[in-house]
Amino acid sequence: MRSVFDQYQQPENQLTHALTCALGEDRRLLRSFIKEVAGLQPPDVKSLQVLEQQLPGDDVVYPEADAMRRGFPDAWIHDGHEWTLLIESKVQALLTRDQLSRHFRMAERRGFKQIRLLVIGIKHPAFHLAFAKFKAWTDVYKWLKRHPESKWACRVAEYMEVWEGKMIADSKAYLTDGSVTVFSGVPFGDGLPYSYIEAKRLLNLAMDELRNEKKLARGLGMDPAGEGRGAITGKLDKSVWDFLRLKGLKKSETFTKYPHLTMALEHDRVLAIVTVPNGIRPEFRRNIVRLGYDGFYTVMDAVSRNLQRSLKGAAGASPWVIVIQRRYPTQRSAAIIDGILQYDLRTAFPAHSSKQAVKNQSQWLEATYAALAHKKSNLQVAVGAIFPYRNCKVQKSAAILGYVANTWLACKPLLHVMLHNRKYGIDVANR
């Protein structure tokens, strides 16, 4: 269904229209915007007018193309006398000093004495804003989310989420330098069905934040500059996923030659795993296999204990292992699953399972080691945690990213054995 805010063709104008509609309808929200976003002491908001595609004192509302050609500010907020706040909105279009100067002179010609100019964009302009203030669209989004009591603030925040999802899905060129929203949780479940477009938007935001997580760089050697998936595809699938690289991958190697940190938003859960790909360097798999099952058991025991500590406070989350065998008829075709084993890691350790009402069944872990030791197929192993929508509510907020990062860190013993050929000891435990 077409949004009531979709009145314009240009992305900048679409966002500005949504914002100005809300400010014009909700005077309390307008006061908050002037004070908290623009950083100004608001005058009597009852006297203020909120305009777009229009000049103060004129009755004419210009068509979008005409307003752009005439160089109007994207929005005017004014008291009809001396005070005005001009808003210039940008997503990817270029901002220039000359454009801002023209806006200022235009306001002077209209008789305003107290002129303030607010630029809202994706990232700060390269030049100094001598007589203007800059705010990122993400700042506006966070401000809107702080006002759940306003139905208009909620509408605009929701519109920004949908708008960004469409930009990512249909013309990602508009968002190559950043985003207009921030990650605030995964809303699926509780009557809200999984959406591919929304999941893709949320995953992009989540991975941007996790890529800047210093404890992952320090603790695991995560490469903040490493590229993730070239393109997140799969509209017909029930999940979207992306990964963070670890340092050590050679430039000539594909990411499947090295373990990586994977996050997926699936139709029924959030998944955070350390992925051991099928095509991993042979020596990494040998480092695991040469432990023998007893050594593998000891390493996975440490991982399980770490995961349980990391997941405290995330009721409903579980330490998880996935072993999957698949094949691809062609390079572009979807995978055919020949076999899959997934289980709660606590099943392997009686001391762990008894405390959590999880029954002991160590054969699942034995099967995992046996599959690695006698690998003859396209086999991938992953260790981490799941956060099901139906009974784990931590993913409803941005706090889920802390749990995702700590899940990856909890797998440190396995990574150290695999990458560094170290025997398990207290030095590789994440304690």
Query: 145 with 237, same domain?
Result: no
Residues of the chain with pLDDT under 70: 1-9, 59-71, 170-177, 230-236, 331-332, 352-356, 421-431
- The answer to the question of residue 172 being in a domain is no
Residues 144 and 196 in one domain: no
* Residue 191 and residue 241 share a domain: yes
Residue type, 274: V
pLDDT of residue 427: 42
Contact 120, 136 (CB under 8 A): yes
Q: What's the CA gap between 199 and 233, in Å, rounded?
A: 11
Residue closest to 365 by CA, chosen among 430, 319, 423, 407: 319
Provide the β-strand partners of residue 84: 78, 115
What distance, in Å, lies between the first and last C-alpha atoms of the chain?
51
Same domain, 144 and 199: no
- Say if residue 126 is in the same domain as residue 266: no
Residue 176 in domain: no
| Residue where one domain finishes, among candidates 100, 132, 164 | 164
Q: Tell me how many domains the chain contains.
A: 2
Same domain, residue pair 244 and 383: yes
Domain boundary (164, 199, 216) is at 164
Residue 418 is encoded by which pair of tokens?
């695999």
Q: Are 382 and 274 in contact (CB under 8 A)?
A: yes
Q: Is 5 domain-assigned?
A: no
Q: Are residues 144 and 191 located together in one domain of the fold?
A: no
> Is 258 inside a domain boundary?
yes
* Adjacent-strand bridge partners of 83: 114
pLDDT digits (tens, 9 = 90+) for 199-253: 999 999 999 999 999 999 999 999 999 888 866 666 667 899 999 999 988 877 8
pLDDT value of position 426: 37
Taking a C-beta distance cutoff of 8 angstroms, is the pair 413, 303 a contact? yes
Residue 317 lies inside a defined structural domain of this protein:
yes
Q: Of 164, 194, 228, which residue is a domain's last?
A: 164
Residue 303 belongs to a domain = yes
pTM of the model: 0.84
Cβ neighbors of 210 (< 8 A, separation 6 or more) are 216, 244, 261, 263, 401, 404, 405
CA distance 431 to 422: 17
Q: Which residues, listed in sequence order, are joined to residue 231 by a DSSP beta bridge?
A: none
Same domain as 240, residue 355: yes
Q: Are residues 252 and 325 in the same domain?
A: yes
In a domain, 309, yes or no: yes
The predicted structure's pLDDT at residue 8? 58
- At residue 127, the pLDDT reads 80
Nearest CA-CA partner of 341 in 355, 356, 320: 320
- Domain holding 281: CATH number? 3.30.930.20
From CA 200, how far away is CA 417, in angstroms rounded? Answer: 33
State the DSSP string of 125-170: -SS--SSEEEEEHHHHHHHHHT-TT-HHHHHHHHHHHHHHHHHHHH
Residue 195 and residue 142 in one domain? no
Alpha carbon of 91 to those of 21, 51, 126, 130, 132: distances in Å? 19, 20, 15, 21, 17
Residues 109 and 249 both lie in one domain: no
Q: Could you tell me the two tokens for 246?
A: 């670890």
Q: Can you give the residue range of the structural domain that contains 236?
A: 183-428
**For position 429, what pLDDT does the model report?**
39
- Tell me: do 154 and 240 sit in the same domain: no
DSSP state of 200: H
